[in-house]
Each structure stands twice: as C-alpha cells, then as structure tokens.
Structure 1
Amino acid sequence: MKLVVQVRLLPTPEQAAALEATLHACNEAASWVSEVAFARGEFKNFALRRHTYDSVKSRWGLGAQAAQHVIKKTCDAYTTLKGNLRAGNLGRPGSTRYRRATEKPISFRSQGAQPYDDRMLSWQIPGRTVSIWTTGGRVKNVAFTASAEQLATLALYRKGESDLLERDGMWFLNATCEVPQAPLNTEPVDFLGIDLGIVNIATTSDGEIMAGRELNRIRARERGLRAKLQKKNTPSAKRRLKKRRRKEARRAKDINHKIAKHAVAEAERTGRGIALEDLTGIRERVRLRKPQRATHASWSFHQLGQFIAYKARRAGVPVVHVDPAYTSRTCAECGHIDKANRVSQAWFACRSCGFVDHADRNSSRNIRARAWELWRRGAQSTAPAPPPTPRGGTGRKRSITASDARCASPAL
C-alpha cells in the first residue's frame, strides 16, 4: 500500500531562494498551461503536451522532466475538478459555486506543491541530505530532518515521486513509499466496536473511553481568541492570527492518529476486527442549536475514520461500517429501543430490563454486535483500497488539493 512520509527540509538561505524561484516558475507555468487547456477544451496529458511542452521549457526555463510534470499536474487538477462536479461537491449545475468553478481556468498558487521524480531528486538518507533540481541548476546537500521511524521507512520502501512544497516559510518533501501490508484477517474472533462522539471522542466496546473534555475546552478557547483577534483587525492581531492558523487542525490530527493507532493495535493483538458507524452525511442529517454547531462541525470524524482504515489495512485488520440508527437508544443487553433509555449524555438506563451502563459504551457494544452480525452474513471489510492509478501516471497515488491548485471555487 502507498503511504506518504513527510520530511522537513533545512535549506540555507541561498538554497531556499533557489527552491522558491523554482516553485514560482513551475506554478506560473502550470497556470498558463491551465489557460491553454481551458481555451482549447483539451485536458488529456499527451494531447495537451503537444500545445504547451516547448513553450513551457523555453519561456520558464524548465527542464524536460519538470515541464512534463507541470503539464500532468494541470491535467490532474482538471480531473479532480470534474470529479467534484460530478459528485455534487460544488453545488448543482447553474448554482453560483458551480459557475465559479467552471467559468474560469484553474490557477495555481505560487507555493503549490511540485512533483519530483528520481531524475530530478536524489536522496542521501544516511547523510540526511537531498540533491534537487531547480531552475538555477542542481542544488546539492540540502539537509532534511525526520524521525528514526520515517528514516527507516524511506530507506526501505521509498518508491515513486516526491512533492516539494512550502508552508508558512518552511519547506517539506512528501515522499511516496510502497509499504507492504499484512494479509487480511478473514476469521476475526470478534469485533471491537468504536462509538465516536463530541464529549468522548472514541469509546470502545471494551469500556475504554478516550475523553475530549480538555480538548473541547482548548478548542472553545481558541475559537474565542480567534473571534477577538478578527474583531480587532489590527496589524498585530493579523500577525497573531497568521501565527496561530492551522494550530487546532494539527492538534486534532495528532489526536486522531493516536486514537487510530491504539484502536488498530488493540484489535490486531486480540485477533478482532474493527466496527465503526457509517457517519456519511451526518452534518446534513443532524439539526443542532446554534451554540452547538461549531463544536459539532469542527471535529474531523471522517479523518479519524480514514486513519483507522489505512492503519487497519496495513495491519490486516478488517473494518466494517454499520448503520448508526438507534445505537444510542438500544439496550445492549435486551435489545429494547426507547428514546427514554438515554437518560443523559453520559448514562444509559434500559426501561425494560433495568440495565445501566455508560451511554457511549452501550452504543459501542451495539455497534460491535451489528458488525459481527453483518460479518457472519458475509460482509466484506470496508477499509477502502487505494484509488486506481490514473492512465499515463507513474504508479504513484496523488491528488491535487488546495495546496496545489485553486480556481474560483473555494473547494479547490
């Protein structure tokens, strides 16, 4: 399976200037290629190359490999846009968002990621340096830093392209690694049910509660601070806002990684699968009071589910998603369903048999039971497989995101 290992580059000022000039040139060329593609209605890689390849090389001084990657990156951006339009992520045809996304060509950010292959980038992992192509020539001995685990993964499994990107004045390389995955456990002894929530981020059917009260307090304080700084709108406030941006997202991502790693390790150790709720579209289905909306919408349950899925695939642990309907109102002992069973946010008390338990643990037991029943009926693991490689690609899984491209639509 393909994983991406991110390492931080530590360039000298001269090296950083060369990297910055290269990113600006590549993304400026990609925006021009996008205009040509939009004007001609030609979004296929090889066909678009006939119209733009020579100009990209001569006008921006890019090498042959860099020019090809610029053209391919543009085609990938339009493929992603087409997929978003087809999926309805940019609204209905004729809506304002839809028209903004389709009436103008895609433009690329000056700091957007640029792919590099092994002809343009070479790794010296023992010395923690890379040699990288730039528009000013080859830059050698660019230092990078990474953890011992990342270095081992790079040394053993690195394969394919790497993306160079700049974020908040820092430089990174995202390296693709082809990591082997364990055979899927087709005969799990049971399932580990996981209930996801706001107060308690994750509660397992074993009774382990990963509470988020402290994190919720931090998030509420951060939201209040952001509101004050935005209202103040002074240069100093803007500097503080810029410094704090993405801080909460990094914290949430770190916590989601830790929860997913712990859950998968426990399931693997005990020979069980993992049972999760299918929360697709929950924001559209659930109506909340205004004070609750920010708390409900800010936590990334989808991200946590993705982390559990890919870590489970790597460990060979099956994952089953179940219907979440009435899991919080159903008694895990007798199966009685009643809204009054949920006496509070924290406690469940069955009106039929008198069973009392923590509400989230009771829900997780119901999730476990539903997954076990589905598995016995022949359900397959729903841990998503990697997407197919685009035609004409290099065998590397990649997609164009907001760090790479933007158009008139905020979704890109």
Structure 2
Amino acid sequence: MKLAVQVKLEPTPAQAAALEATLRACNEAATWVSGVAFEQDVKRNFALRELTYGEAKERWRLGAQAAQHVIKKTCDAYATLKANLKAGNLGRPGSKRYRQAAGKPIVFRRESAQPYDDRMLSWQSGDRRVSIWTVAGRLKDVAFTADERQLATLVLYRRGESDLVCRDGMWFLLATCEVPEAELNTDPVDFLGIDLGIVNIATTSDGEIMAGRALNRIRVRERGLRTKLQRKNTPSARRRLKKRRRKEARRARGINHKIAKHVVAEAERTSRGIALEDLGGIRARVRLRKPQRATLHSWSFHQLGQFIAYKARRAGVAVVHVDPAYTSRTCAECGHVDKASRVSQARFECRSCGFVDHADRNGSRNIRARARELWRRGAESTAPALPPQRRGGAGRKRSITASDARCASPAI
C-alpha cells in the first residue's frame, strides 16, 4: 500500500530562496499551461506536452523533468476537477458554483506542491541530506529531519515521486512509500462496531467512548479568537492569525490518528474486523441552524474513517462500511425502531422492551450487527487502497441532525 512519509527540510536562507523561486516558477508555468489546456480543450498529457513543453521550459528556465511534471500536474488537476464535477461535489450542472468551477482555467497558487522524481531528487538518508533540483541549480546538501520510524520507512520502502511543499515558511518533502500489507484476516471472529459522532468522536460496541468535548471546546475558543482578531485587523492581529493557522486542524488530525491507532490495535488483538458507517454526503443532507453549522462542518469523520481504513489494511484487519440509516433509533436488543427511543444525545430507552443504554453504544452495536450480516452474505473488506473521492448521499444518519449538534454547541 502507498503511504506518504513527511520529512522537514532545514535549508539555509540561500537554499530556501532557491526553493521558493523554484516553486514560484513551476506554479506560474503550470497556470500558463492550464490556460492553454483550457483554451485549446486539450487535457491529456502527451497532447498537451506537444503544445506547451518547449515554451514552458524556456520561459521559466525549467529542467526537462520539471517541465514534464508541470504539464502532468496540470492534467491531473483537470482530471480531479472532472471527477468532482461528475460526482456532484461542486454543485448541480448549471448551478453558479458548477459554472464557476468549470467555466475558467485552473489557477495554481504560488506555494502549490511540486512533484519530484529520482532524476530531480536524490536522498542520502544516512546523512539526512537531499540533493534537489532548483531553477538556481542543484542544491546538493540540504538537511532534513524526521522521526526515527519515518526514517526507517523511508529507507526501506520509498518508491516513486516526492512532493516539495511549503507551509508557513517551513519546507517539507512528502515521499511516496510502498509499504507491505499484512495478510487480510478473512475469517474474523466478530466485528468491532464504531459509532462516529460530534460529542463523542467514536464509540465502540465494547462500550468504550472516545469523547470529543475537549476538542469541541478548543474549536469554539479558536473560532471566537479568530473572529476577534479578524475584526480588529491590525498588523499585530494579522500576525497572530497567521501564527495560529492550521493549529486546530493539526490538533484534530493528531486526535484522529490516536483514535484510529487504538481502534485498529484492539481489533487486531481480538481477531475482529471493524464496522464503520458510510456517512458520505451527510453534510449535504443535514439542515441545521446557523450557530450549529460550523460545528458540523468541522466534524472530521471522513478523515478518521480514512485513518482507520489505511491502518487496518496495514494490519490485515477487515473493514466493512454499513448503511447508517436508523442505527440510532433501533434497539440493539429487540430490533424495535422508534424515534422516541432516542431520549437525548446520550440516552437510549427502547419503547418496546424497555432496554436502556448509552445511545452511541446502542448505535455501535447495531452497526456491528449489520456488519456481521453483510460479512455472512459474502461482503468483502471495504478498506480502500487509496483515499476515496467524497461520495454523494448514502444512508441517512438521523441522530446527527438535532441531539448531537445541540450537545456540541457552544453552550456546553
């Protein structure tokens, strides 16, 4: 399976200036190539190369490999745009958003990532140095740092391209690694059901609750601070805003990694598979009041699902995605379905048999039962080889619309 290992570059000021000039030149060239592709309606790699290769190489002083990667990057961007338009991720055909996306050429930001292959980039992992091509010549002694485990993965499994990325003045290389997968457990003894939510990020069918209240409080505080700084709009406020960029996203990403690691380790230890809900399109279906929308849209369930999926593939654990419809209204003991049984965000009381349980644990048990049935019918593991495109609506998860959102509001 493919994984991206991130290493941080530690260039000198002169090296950083050369890297910055390289990214700027490559992305300006990519924007020009994109304009040609749009005007000529040529978005295939080899055909577009015939139209743009020579001028892009000469005008922006690009090397042969860099010019080819610029053209390929442009074609890949148009392929992604086409897929998103087809999937409805950019609105319905004819809508304003759809027309804005499809009616003009793609523009690349100055700091957009640039792919490098082994002709443009060589690694000396033992010395923690790289030799990298730039428009100012080849930089042969650029230092980098990485975690010991990442470095070991890099040495053993690096294959293919690496992306040069600049974030907030810091430089990174994202190296593609082909990591071997463990043999898939095709005969799990049971499934570990996972109910995903906003108040409780993940609840397992074993009864373990991984609460998200602390993360939600931090998000509310960060959102309020951003609003105050944006209103103030002084140089000092802008500096503070820039410093806090992506801090919330990094924190949420770290929490999701820890949850995914714990869930997969527990499933592997007990020889079980993992059952997840297919929540694709949930944001498009849910209707909430304005104060609750930011909370819903900051809910990173898709990222957590991806992390669980790729860690499960690496560990050989089967993953099954089930229809989430009515999992929060169905009694895990008797199967009775009733909206009134969901008394609150945290409490489930069956109106038929009187069974009482934590609402999220009850939902996770229903998810586990559906995964068992799917597996019995011959379903296969749905852990994707690559991160999937965001899909349009699957089943409906009713419990998110009101109780979860209210309990995750700033009043908590």
**TM, length-normalised to structure 1:** 0.91
Question: Is it true that 1:314 corresponds to 2:325 in the alignment?
Answer: no
Q: Which amino acid aligns with 2:370?
A: R
Which residue of 1 is the match for residue 9 of structure 2? 9
Greater shift, 64-73 or 91-100, is seen at 91-100
Work out the CA distance in 2 between the residues paired with 1:72 and 1:41. Answer: 15
Work out the CA distance in 1 between the residues paired with 2:387 and 2:338. Answer: 41
Question: Is it true that 1:212 corresponds to 2:220 in the alignment?
Answer: no
Work out the CA distance in 2 between the residues paired with 1:52 and 1:155. Answer: 36
SS of match in other structure, 1:314? helix
Which residue of 2 is the match for residue 118 of structure 1? 118
Which residue of 2 is the match for residue 172 of structure 1? 172
Question: Is it true that 1:351 corresponds to 2:351 in the alignment?
Answer: yes
SS of match in other structure, 1:288? coil
Work out the CA distance in 1 between the residues paired with 2:218 and 2:150. Answer: 30
Which residue of 1 is the match for residue 275 of structure 2? 275
Query: Compared with structure 1, are the counterparts of its residues 286 and 104 closer, same or farther at alpha carbon in structure 2 (3 Å cutoff)?
Result: closer
Work out the CA distance in 1 between the residues paired with 2:351 and 2:40. Answer: 68
Work out the CA distance in 1 between the residues paired with 2:345 and 2:87. Answer: 35
Which residue of 2 is the match for residue 395 of structure 1? none
CA contact (8 A) 2:306 2:387 kept: no
Which residue of 1 is the match for residue 243 of structure 2? 243
How much does 1:301 deviate?
A: 0.6
Q: Which amino acid aligns with 2:347?
A: W
Which residue of 1 is the match for residue 46 of structure 2? 46
SS of match in other structure, 1:180? coil
Q: Which amino acid aligns with 1:348?
A: F
CA contact (8 A) 1:2 1:386 kept: yes
Work out the CA distance in 1 between the residues paired with 2:253 and 2:42. Answer: 38
Greater shift, 260-269 or 333-342, is seen at 333-342
Q: Which amino acid aligns with 2:125?
A: I
How much does 1:102 deviate?
A: 2.5
Deviation by residue 1:56-93 (Cα, 9 ceiling, x = unmatched): 22221111111111111111111111112212222223
How much does 1:268 deviate?
A: 0.9
Looking at both structures, which has the greater relative contact order when contacts are Cα pairs under 8 Å and sequence separation is at least 6? 1
Deviation by residue 1:337-396 (Cα, 9 ceiling, x = unmatched): 2222222221222233222221111111111111101111111111123389xxxxxxxx
Greater shift, 326-335 or 171-180, is seen at 326-335
Deviation by residue 1:42-66 (Cα, 9 ceiling, x = unmatched): 1111111112111122221111111
CA contact (8 A) 1:278 1:321 kept: yes
Work out the CA distance in 1 between the residues paired with 2:174 and 2:60. Answer: 24
Gaps of 5+ in 2: 389-412
How much does 1:283 deviate?
A: 1.6
SS of match in other structure, 2:46? helix
Work out the CA distance in 1 between the residues paired with 2:57 and 2:287. Answer: 54
Which residue of 1 is the match for residue 144 of structure 2? 144
Q: Which amino acid aligns with 1:24?
A: R
Work out the CA distance in 2 between the residues paired with 1:92 and 1:342. Answer: 34
CA contact (8 A) 1:200 1:213 kept: yes
How much does 1:213 deviate?
A: 1.2
Work out the CA distance in 2 between the residues paired with 1:285 and 1:58. Answer: 50
Work out the CA distance in 1 between the residues paired with 2:287 and 2:362. Answer: 23
Work out the CA distance in 2 between the residues paired with 1:296 and 1:57. Answer: 46
Which residue of 1 is the match for residue 101 of structure 2? 101
Work out the CA distance in 1 between the residues paired with 2:143 and 2:62. Answer: 24
Question: How many residues are matched?
Answer: 388
How much does 1:295 deviate?
A: 1.4
Work out the CA distance in 1 between the residues paired with 2:52 and 2:351. Answer: 71
Q: Which amino acid aligns with 1:149?
A: R
Share of identical aligned residues, percent?
Answer: 81
Greater shift, 94-103 or 296-305, is seen at 94-103
CA contact (8 A) 2:131 2:138 kept: yes
Which residue of 2 is the match for residue 285 of structure 1? 285
Work out the CA distance in 2 between the residues paired with 1:55 and 1:280. Answer: 43
SS of match in other structure, 2:6? strand
Work out the CA distance in 1 between the residues paired with 2:360 and 2:92. Answer: 37
Which residue of 1 is the match for residue 305 of structure 2? 305
Query: Compared with structure 1, are the counterparts of its residues 386 and 297 closer, same or farther at alpha carbon in structure 2 (3 Å cutoff)?
Result: closer
Q: Which amino acid aligns with 1:181?
A: E
Q: Which amino acid aligns with 1:12?
A: T
CA contact (8 A) 1:69 1:115 kept: yes
Deviation by residue 1:173-227 (Cα, 9 ceiling, x = unmatched): 0000000011211100000000111111101011111011111111111111111
Work out the CA distance in 2 between the residues paired with 1:137 and 1:216. Answer: 47
How much does 1:267 deviate?
A: 0.6
Q: Which amino acid aligns with 2:131?
A: S
CA contact (8 A) 1:252 1:299 kept: no
Matches within 5 A, 1:7-406: 7-386=7-386
Work out the CA distance in 2 between the residues paired with 1:272 and 1:327. Answer: 21
What's the Cα RMSD here? 1.5
CA contact (8 A) 1:185 1:318 kept: yes
Q: Which amino acid aligns with 2:194?
A: I
Query: Compared with structure 1, are the counterparts of its residues 365 and 297 closer, same or farther at alpha carbon in structure 2 (3 Å cutoff)?
Result: same
CA contact (8 A) 1:326 1:337 kept: yes
Which residue of 2 is the match for residue 396 of structure 1? none
Greater shift, 342-351 or 276-285, is seen at 342-351
Q: Which amino acid aligns with 1:207?
A: G
Deviation by residue 1:325-348 (Cα, 9 ceiling, x = unmatched): 221122212222222222222122
SS of match in other structure, 1:305? helix
Work out the CA distance in 2 between the residues paired with 1:171 and 1:214. Answer: 31
Q: Which amino acid aligns with 1:3?
A: L
Query: Compared with structure 1, are the counterparts of its residues 287 and 58 closer, same or farther at alpha carbon in structure 2 (3 Å cutoff)?
Result: closer
